[in-house]
Amino acid sequence: DAMVIQNPRYQVTQFGKPVTLSCSQTLNHNVMYWYQQKSSQAPKLLFHYYDKDFNNEADTPDNFQSRRPNTSFCFLDIRSPGLGDAAMYLCATSRDRWQETQYFGPGTRLLVL
């Protein structure tokens, strides 16, 4: 089945230790998104790729970076995680930008010690 896969499902890192979360998709969608969701809150868009075009949200901290080496894969890099970065990180895809259904992966729960 076509799907969005996120690895790992749970990630524990130390304060200040770089961490990378990965997302892959078999839907062949043009757009991939990264959201941060804290407990009992709405998902918050960090950035998205429209094909190879990277689009950062204005309020996304510089600590968060992303890479999309090909259509199928997208990575979220947190350069120096702080305690406030502990959250669920959701990857999503859509066929085209906006006005479209988004397909979400199961998420990666990040814990920062």
Of 11-19, 60-68, 73-81, 90-98, the segment contacting other proteins by CB under 8 A is: 90-98
1 binds other proteins (CB under 8 A): no
49 vs 56: CA distance, rounded Å: 9
Cis peptide before 8 (omega within 30 of 0): yes
Going by their DSSP bridges, the two strands 73-78 and 87-94 should be labelled as unpaired
Q: Which among 23, 19, 52 is positioned nearest to 35, based on CA atoms?
A: 23
Of 13-21, 43-51, 70-78, 79-87, the segment contacting other proteins by CB under 8 A is: 43-51
50 binds other proteins (CB under 8 A): no
Q: Which among 89, 54, 96, 72 is positioned nearest to 3, based on CA atoms?
A: 72
25 binds other proteins (CB under 8 A): no
42 binds other proteins (CB under 8 A): yes
**Helix locations, the chain, DSSP H:** none
86 binds other proteins (CB under 8 A): no
Interface ranges with other proteins (CB under 8 A): 4, 6, 40-43, 45, 48, 88, 90, 92, 97-99, 101-107, 109
